[in-house]
Structure 1
C-alpha cells in the first residue's frame, strides 16, 4: 500500500514506524492476549504504558521536577476553560495575546469565568505577524499571561517568548510542542492536544508547575480540577488508553530520531524547502505570514487567482498530496509539516509547486 503524502493540519501524520508497531501489537499487547483497548486502565500493563508516556515527555522536554504532567481529555478547547477556572481568582484578571482564531477562542472561554484583558493583538494586521515580545506590557498584577505559540490557520509562530517574571506564562502549544527545544521553566502551564505532534486525537497533555495546582477547589466539578487529576496520576476516570499507548510510542520514536534537537533541525530543513518554493516563485505563491513570524509547522500561502488555487489543489490531489487546502475560514493553501511528515514528502511538494508554477504560466 502506498502511503499518502499527508499534510493535514490535524489530526495529522503519525510516524509510519509507530503505526507499524501498533498494528503488530494490536491484538496482543505485551503477551496479554488483549488489545491495549481491552486492558483495564488499572492493570499493571497499562499503568506501565501510561507512566512511560509521561516519562517520555519529561525526558524529551527536560521537564523540571517541580512540574506535573497530566494526560487529560477534552482537547485543548477544554483547557480554554480549565485554565481560568483553576487559575483566575475573582480578584484578579488574566492577560491574553491574540494571534489567531485559537487564541480568540481561548479568550472567549476565559471571559465567561472572570476578568480578562487583551495586551496585544495582530488581528488588525490579518494575523500576519506575532507581536514583538519587547513591546508587550506585562501587568504584574495579572493572574497569568496566555499565548498561542503556533497558529495553524494563519501560519505564524512565536520565535521568542515573553519574560513574565512572577506572572505565570501559559501557552497553548497544540501545534508545535516537541517540534523545537524550549525552556519549560519559563512557563507556568503548557498544554497541547496530541493530534499534531504527539499522537492521535483523544488525549491532551498539560504540563503545569506544581505551585499552580490549588487543592480542594470545592467550587469546581472534579473533572475540571487540576488537583484531582494530579493526585490520581491522570487516572481519576477511565483514560483514552489507545491514545496514550500511541503517545508513548511516539515518544520512543522521537528519542530514536535523536531527540527534540534533531527533530528541530529536520523541521527547519523541511520548512526551508517549501518557503524557498514560495520565495523563489517571483510572486506566484504569496505567503500569508510576515517573514520573521513564519511558522515551521503550518505554511500558508495563496496563488494569483482563485482559479489557480483550485487547479493547484486539484492537481496536488491527483499527485497524492492530501490536506493542502487552507482553513475554511480564510481559504488559500496550507502545508502542515509536523514532526512525522517525512522530508521526502516536503521535497516532493516543493518540486510540485515549482513545476505547477512553470506549467501554469506557460499555459496561461
Structure 2
C-alpha cells in the first residue's frame, strides 16, 4: 500500500509522520507546551513540520534513474529559502565529491548534511574534501550501491557509515518503490503545489486533537524550546517484514565488501537522545526497538574484515537537535565532527 501524500510530504524532510501528542506530563503541562509549540511552529525558520517549508525543500529534489531521488546539482540557496544556506555539488549530492578518493561516506540525510548553514555541516568541520566522496542520500542501500557504481573510481581504502534509525525503514520504502514506478514523486505522492500544502496544513490541528490520547508523539521542552518527538520514528519490527532485514544487511555487506577498512558509527535520533533525560515509557520502548535493529545490523556486518563499530547513542542531548526537525543543529554538528575525528583515529569515542 502506498503511503499517503500527507505523511510523506512531511516525512521526507524530517521523519515525522504521525501527528499526535502524549499527555504523560499531565494535562496542564501538555496544554502549556501545546500553546508554546503552536507559537513556535509559526515562527521557527527551520520548521520541517510545516508543509510550506517542506514544499521549498521538495522543489530542490528530482527523480533519478540511478538513486531514485537526487538533489538538483550545483544548487546555491541563500538562507531565506530553507532557513539555512544550502549547496549541492555537481553530482546532485552534498559535500566532498572526489570520485577517485580512497575514502567514501555512506548514510542517509544525517551523513548527507541538512539543517545548518554551509560550512557548519559536520563533514565540513572534520573531513578533507579532497580525500572523500560523500554518497549519502535519504535512500536505501541499493540506491547507494548504484551511486557508488556510477561515480566512485578510487581505490576503496576506507568507508565511513553513519548508521541511523531510518536505515531499515528507508530500505523498505525504496524496496517497495523499485520496479513499481519510474517517478519517486508520483509513487509517494509528494506534492509541492501551494494548494496541496494548504490542505495538509489545514488537517494538522485536527490530527493533533484527534491523537492527543494515543501517546504516539511527545512535546518535550529543552533550554532551546519545544521539540516534537514521534514515538513511531524508525520503529520497524523484524518479525513483520519478511526477509527485509536480512536482505538489507546483505546489501550493505556487498556495498562495503571492497573496502580495506570500514568504520560504522551509530548516530542517535532525537528520541534516543531524549530518552537519556526523560524517563518516559514510550521513549524507552522505542529505544529498545531501535537498539534491537542496530544490533541486528551490527551482527550482520561483523563478518567483514577490518570493520569497527561505535555506538554514539548516549553521546548526544536533546539540545543538540533542531526544534522542529530530527537533524542536528550547529552544536550537534560540532559534536558529531569531534566524534567522527576520534573514530577515524581509531580511538574509542565513548571514552573521550
Using the size of structure 2 for normalisation, the TM-score is: 0.25
Using the size of structure 1 for normalisation, the TM-score is: 0.25
**Larger Cα-atom Rg:** 1
